Amino acid sequence: MLRIAVQAKGRLFEETMNLLAESDIKLSPSKRTLLVQSSNFPVEVLFLRDDDIPQSVATGVADIGIVGENEYAEKKEDAEIIKRLGFSKCRLSLAMPKDIDYPGVSWFHGKKIATSYPVILGDYLKAHGVNSEIHVITGSVEVAPGIGLADAIFDIVSSGSTLVSNRLREVEVVMKSEALLIGNKNLSAEKKAILDELLFRMHAVETAEDKKYVLMNAPKDRLEDIIAVLPGMKSPTVMPLAQEGWCSLHTVLDEKCFWEIIGKLKSMGAEGILVLPIEKMIP
């Protein structure tokens, strides 16, 4: 049985549970307890505070965990990064009152900075030769300058709307963060085998993201031209149609270039273009 530590609530919790569900890890929909076992896969999920996950994995309380890179960097626990998951992206930034001119990072010298991430901030300030007073706050860090508790803040930024509402502006991005799958360095062979299967499923889900399965009817005399503009994974599937001079062509397209490619296909005579979502892709 592989035990995975997961954030108990918040955006990272929701996206983690979606990933597990898409990987066909079935968990009880009933009221959540601290520890829940999957009904169809040898995994049990341990729900913790996000800042407790790195230590729980490093000490073996959990075998693996999904945690924000910001918490992993802050805690500096002896756990290894297994996989970057690509969701829950944000950044840790220094912000200051928007009405004050900002000459550079030297502005923070001698200032009081409120943060929930004193380790990351301390390392950054030391690297830049800046001596500031770090005031540790848990909770709503962004209100600190407005109530006179600090001159500036160091906190997570996603959209930046919270900064704007508190009359702050982001001036230095210290690090970028995303969800990480981290692991204990001493997993048994049995647990490593379970982890490998879980990673295989996660990779299949990840590969299918933003991909579309496209079917179309294409004139045979334009087939080479049509294939030349398709950036599919491999050579597309081509099958003959009952109508003379036509064939059916199947391929996979990335959504970011989808409309550009579809326009070219139509100009080359492709017809009856059918677009389907892809749930998983097995390499």
pLDDT tens for each residue of 61-99: 999 999 999 999 999 999 999 999 999 999 999 999 999
Q: Which helix (H) or strand (E) holds 259?
A: helix 258-267
pLDDT averaged over every residue in the chain: 92
- pLDDT exceeding 70 applies to what percent of the chain? 97
What fold characterizes domain 2-88+179-207? D-Maltodextrin-Binding Protein; domain 2 (3.40.190)
In tens, the pLDDT along 32-62 reads 688 999 999 999 999 999 999 999 999 999 9
Q: Does 233 have pLDDT greater than 80?
A: no
Strands 246-254, 211-219: pairing is antiparallel
Confidence of residue 253 (pLDDT cuts 50, 70, 90): confident
Band (232; pLDDT cuts 50, 70, 90) = low
Return the CATH number of the domain spanning residue range 210-277: 3.30.70.120
> How much is the pLDDT for 32?
63
SS3 268: coil
Q: For the residues 257-266, what does the mean pLDDT come to?
A: 86
Domain with CATH 3.30.70.120 in the chain: 210-277
- Which residue ranges does the chain devote to CATH 3.40.190.10? 2-88+179-207, 90-177
Say whether pLDDT at 228 is over 90: no
pLDDT in the model for residue 234: 67
pTM higher than 0.75, yes or no? yes
CATH T-level topology, domain 90-177:
D-Maltodextrin-Binding Protein; domain 2 (3.40.190)
Q: In whole angstroms, what is the distance from residue 72 CA to residue 164 CA?
A: 27
